[in-house]
Amino acid sequence: MTQIKYPTQRLSLRFFMLMLVLFLLQVGYGLVLSIQHVDPTLLAGVLNFNVVRAEHLNLAVMWIVCGFIGAILFVGPLLSGRDWKMSPLIKLLFFALIAVVIWNAFTLPLAERGIAGWWAGQPWLQQGLEYLEPGRIAGLAVLVGFAIFALVVLRTFPPVRDWNEIHWGLGIGACALMVVWMFGLFYVGRLDLQEYFRWFVVHYWVEGVWEVIHISLVGYLLVLMFKADVKSVGFAVFWGVTLVWLSGLIGNAHHYFWIGTPEFWQFWGSLFSALEPLPLVFCFWHIYLDAHTNRRPLDNAPAFYFVLGSVVLEQIGAGILGFSMTFALTNVWSHGTWVTPSHGHLALFGTFGMLGIAFAYYAVPIMRGVPNYDQRLGRLGFWLVLSSMLGLAFSFAMGGTVQIFVYRVLGQDWFGGEVAPAMGLFKLLLPLFGMIFAIGVGVIAYDLFTLGSRVKSPLTDLTRYLEQPLHEAPRWSRPLTGFEAGLWLMTMWIFGAIITLGLLSFNLARVRVGGDPTLPYLLAAVGYPGLFVTTLAFVSRFLASLEERASVRGVVPIDTSMPAAELV
Amino acid sequence: MSCKSNGVSCETPRRHAALAVLSVMLVIFVALSVFSFIGARGQVTPDTVSYSSYDADSGKRVFQAYNCMGCHTLVGNGAYLGPDLTKEYANVGPAWLAAFLPSAGSWPTATAVGMQLKNPDQLADTKIADIEAYFKKFPGAKTRVDRRGGHASFMPNLPFRKGEIGQLIAYLKYVSEMNTEGWPPQIKVEQSAIQTTALHVAAAPASTAAAQPLPAKAADRAARGAELVKDLGCTACHSTGSDRVVGPGWGGLYGSTVDLTDGRKVKADDAYLVESIRQPNAKIVAAYSPDVMPAYDNTQLSDSDIEAIVTYLHSLGTVK
């Protein structure tokens, strides 16, 4: 599609812009955190680490939700065959979101003075729980916001009997966002029970709700970009979602190993969450198939770059790294160390963050009326954030491996002791990669803010494709076959297995009693860099093959007047 | 997926089967969850744990109010800037925590921990008044005192209110009593495998200060006072300049006029300074809270010790 079909699709633009602002803020807080890890006295007493971290996590949730709302607002009318109903409520939602963000910026720092705003047994200003830091006032405001959003989606969608899988995915997703949020809205005195319900929100949001929205949106974006068959995408969405729930429902048990809940969770958690990568492999495979259903050139490269990034980082961040630490015997070591944020950063930013950016890159040029925009900055931004996020994950994972050995095996002391100095090198890498990431985000935000108002480059991508003489594709850009994609995937999983064995090897008497770290260090030093380099190479290979399409012999040139793909 | 019989896609029964399996899993999950929290399991709950008169639930509220989880992990969940606190109470005990928390920016000395052994809450809870016995029961406290006592820590000073420290200790006690299925993993490494530790362990700082007689000369007295305030950990809260750390700074304090919370003004003379050490709650400086500083009676600090400290404070400068 080259222009919007329904005027209310434009409501999504402000959410995409807000998403970028919040993303920039979140990255700023992240940079401060990474420097505070190196020098904990930085801003101590002014902006303590816990406050910066609360903002970092809170904004992460906020901008990802903002991206989801933007994406759903853009596709909703196409899926419904009519404009959004109750658009004033959507505008209200936008300002409410800004208000909540500002409110949190004032209430979260109260933690430095120990003010939670206890009233009627509940913390109203901030509650000091990881991922759920805001207090009841913000929590209830967000609940109302989700309720409004679910209402608007359900009122605008066609009658339920006309729903296809994408409607179901987004409809359930919008409602479940609200329902799952409620589990974080009450104070629990028992630590085990509190953690039990806290993971309801965190795990079921990510694994049960966001994942559903993610699969539906990726599916529909492929329909829009590649005219993928709706039936085929619907099949992928249904089985993707079902697999997510089949594995993720009891898979939540991997959070219940050590919080004071019974030992039997170790069995259920290890068993079912080992299945959690299945839907991700499935989704990964489908993007390969669906992106290859037609062999037209890529007319919006950055949008596809980020969709691919989202699916690939989901595969390695959530799938492979998640798998490596999901067994009780590996989790006992990775739990509570830097190994976990390696998984968390790749999975959360990769899967959900990149999807929001992909949709922004798809929708913003259309809304600004510049479908033939200069795509170079978008490509640059993608490579910057992808490679530096892999670098961050590497620093966390390697630092975490050292941390496990020094802290949990040798039982050495924390600050002033051995743990922080032992992790020193990797602590230093963190702000370094963080800086590159921040530059990447700056490039993306600048590009999307100013897209359409900048002077177009004389040689845009589209003309470049059309003017390029036909030639044989070089080896690196030859069409990617299913067999080759399978080999890449297998290589990633082999490195994943090495990582898993590395964590497992901490159980060996040689390591645990003898104090010899050679094996876990070696396996980590092979596994993590191997996985991340393979990932970079695969993304580069996949994109090269797609970029080359237009100039390969025998391919029909681009049809710029592609009609909007619709589902209704 | 396009095979059809009787006009019904064979995809439909497959989908129904998948949803049925999902329902079975939901039932399993709910059953496991219910079983996890029934009383028969014997997991400790916060209402059954207290530290002296403080209950663990209030402590949990304090823990959340300061967002401790934003730097530390508890049962492994939280942030990774500071150490995990799951077994903190069992490791260092209430006296070390009571000595550390009010002035978290500095690690407590053996004397400061010893002072907390006389704290009635601590005595009521552990029944230990002897520092050697305490260190035996809570070996982590000894390691920390030996290695870092008196040095700066990376934790910021937090403005704890009356009772909050006792409540936090009660909460950490509850958490350390929880059965966490063997996490964090027990340390099994042979001590011979750790080469680094031995190099770092320094001898315990001498805590024999209280036994020495008071030197006659003022300069010697001030030197001894300086030694005492370091040993007692006073400088964890008081700066020798005029800036605020936890308590007021000492620089230029002697002889100055101090504003109190009740609006009165007093001169910081010898009598005022002695009273502020013996009974810190008697006169509270404006903008500071009571019950933060421990009281030092004459079993803890002799009159001559106090005189030495006051002489030292005098040496830090006066207001003309």
- Residues A329-341 pLDDT 10s: 999 999 999 999 9
Domain count along chain A: 2
Per-residue model confidence (pLDDT) at position B34: 94
Per-residue model confidence (pLDDT) at position A568: 37
In a domain, A310, yes or no: yes
Kindly give the interhelix angle for A301-313 and A211-226, rounded to the nearest 10 degrees: 150
Distance between CA atoms of residues B102 and B106, nearest Å:
10
Cβ contact (<8 Å) for B187 and A409?
A: yes
The pLDDT of B259-275, averaged and rounded, is 89
Number of neighbouring beta carbons within 10 Å of residue A263: 11
Cβ contact (<8 Å) for A114 and B164?
A: yes
In a domain, A256, yes or no: no
Banded model confidence at residue B198, pLDDT cuts 50, 70, 90: very low
SS3 content of chain A, % helix, strand, coil (to 5): 75, 0, 25
CA distance B144 to chain A (A): 9
In a domain, A142, yes or no: no
**Pick from A154-168, A246-260, A465-479, A524-538: least confident:** A465-479
Tell me which of A68, A95, A116 is where a domain ends. A116
- DSSP code for B309: H
The string of DSSP codes covering A192-214 is: HHHHHHHHHHHHIIIIIIIHHHH
Per-residue model confidence (pLDDT) at position B215: 58
Per-residue model confidence (pLDDT) at position A204: 93
Q: Cis omega before residue A77 (within 30°)?
A: no
**Pick from A437-446, A530-539, B10-19, B131-140: least confident:** B10-19
**Per-residue pLDDT at A236 exceeds 70:** yes
**Residue A479's closest CA among A554, A367, A415?**
A554
Pull the structure tokens for residue A526: 């092979």
Cβ contact (<8 Å) for B64 and A250?
A: no
Per-residue model confidence (pLDDT) at position A460: 55
For B73, nearest residue in chain A (alpha carbons): A336
**Residue B65's closest CA among A50, A137, A62, A47?**
A50
Q: In which element (H, E) is residue B191 found?
A: none
Banded model confidence at residue A433, pLDDT cuts 50, 70, 90: very high
In a domain, A288, yes or no: no
- Residues A161-192 pLDDT 10s: 999 999 999 999 999 999 999 999 999 999 99
Question: The domain spanning residue A519 has which CATH number?
Answer: 1.20.210.10
Cβ B193 vs Cβ A410: under 8 Å:
yes
Banded model confidence at residue A231, pLDDT cuts 50, 70, 90: confident
Cβ A338 vs Cβ A200: under 8 Å:
no
Per-residue model confidence (pLDDT) at position A19: 98
Q: In which element (H, E) is residue B310 found?
A: helix B303-315
Pull the structure tokens for residue A261: 């809940």
CA distance A475 to chain B (A): 36
For residue A442, the one-letter residue type is G
Q: In which element (H, E) is residue A533 found?
A: helix A518-547
Within a 13 Å sphere around the CA of B136, how many CA atoms are in the beta-carbon half? 6
Cβ contact (<8 Å) for B76 and A335?
A: yes
Which pTM was predicted? 0.90
Pull the structure tokens for residue B18: 């998948």
CA distance B26 to chain A (A): 7
Per-residue model confidence (pLDDT) at position B231: 82
Residues β-bridged to residue B259: B265
Burial of B294 (0-12, 13-18, 19+ CB in 10 A): middle
A45: left (phi over 0), alpha (psi -120 to 50) or beta: left
Residues in chain A closer than 8 A to B46 (CB atoms): 189-191
**Per-residue pLDDT at B216 exceeds 80:** no
**Residue A173's closest CA among A163, A184, A185, A188?**
A163
- DSSP code for A269: H
Residues in chain A closer than 8 A to B66 (CB atoms): 50, 111-112, 114, 128
Segments of B157-306 assigned E as strands: 257-259, 265-267
Q: What are phi and psi of B258, to 5 degrees?
A: -110, 130
Q: What are phi and psi of A556, to 5 degrees?
A: -70, 130
In a domain, A429, yes or no: yes
In a domain, A548, yes or no: yes
The C-alpha angle B4, B6, B10, rounded to 5 degrees, equals: 35
Cβ contact (<8 Å) for B66 and A51?
A: no
**Residue A381's closest CA among A447, A460, A300?**
A447
Question: Which domains are assigned to chain B?
Answer: 46-177 (1.10.760.10), 212-315 (1.10.760.10)
Cβ contact (<8 Å) for B22 and A412?
A: no
Q: Which residues contact A567 (CB under 8 A, 6 or more apart)?
A: A78, A79, A164, A166, A167, A220, A223, A230
Tell me which of A53, A84, A116 is where a domain ends. A116
Per-residue model confidence (pLDDT) at position A192: 95
Cβ A210 vs Cβ A352: under 8 Å:
yes
Residues in chain A closer than 8 A to B84 (CB atoms): 336
Banded model confidence at residue B316, pLDDT cuts 50, 70, 90: confident
Per-residue model confidence (pLDDT) at position B318: 67
The string of DSSP codes covering A117-181 is: -EETTEESSB---TT--B-HHHHHHHHHHHHHHHHHHHHHSPPGGG--HHHHHHHHHHHHHHHHH
Distance between CA atoms of residues A8 and A291, nearest Å:
28
In a domain, A199, yes or no: no
Of chain A, the percentage scoring pLDDT greater than 70 comes to 92
The three-class DSSP label of residue B266 is strand
In a domain, A62, yes or no: yes
The pLDDT of B129-150, averaged and rounded, is 92
For A56, nearest residue in chain B (alpha carbons): B70
Tell me which of A116, A137, A172 is where a domain ends. A116
Of chain B, the percentage scoring pLDDT greater than 90 comes to 44
Q: What are phi and psi of B54, to 5 degrees?
A: -95, 135
| Residue ranges making up the domain that contains A83 | 1-116
Q: In which element (H, E) is residue B2 found?
A: none
Greatest Cα pair distance, chain A, in angstroms, is 73
**Residue A367's closest CA among A6, A13, A1, A8?**
A13
Q: What are phi and psi of B254, to 5 degrees?
A: -60, 125
Contacts 24+ apart (CB under 8 A), A23-29: A23/A59, A23/A63, A23/A353, A23/A441, A23/A445, A24/A441, A24/A442, A24/A445, A25/A55, A25/A59, A26/A55, A26/A56, A26/A59, A26/A60, A26/A63, A27/A434, A27/A437, A27/A438, A27/A441, A28/A438, A29/A53, A29/A55, A29/A56, A29/A59
Residues in chain A closer than 8 A to B188 (CB atoms): 512-513
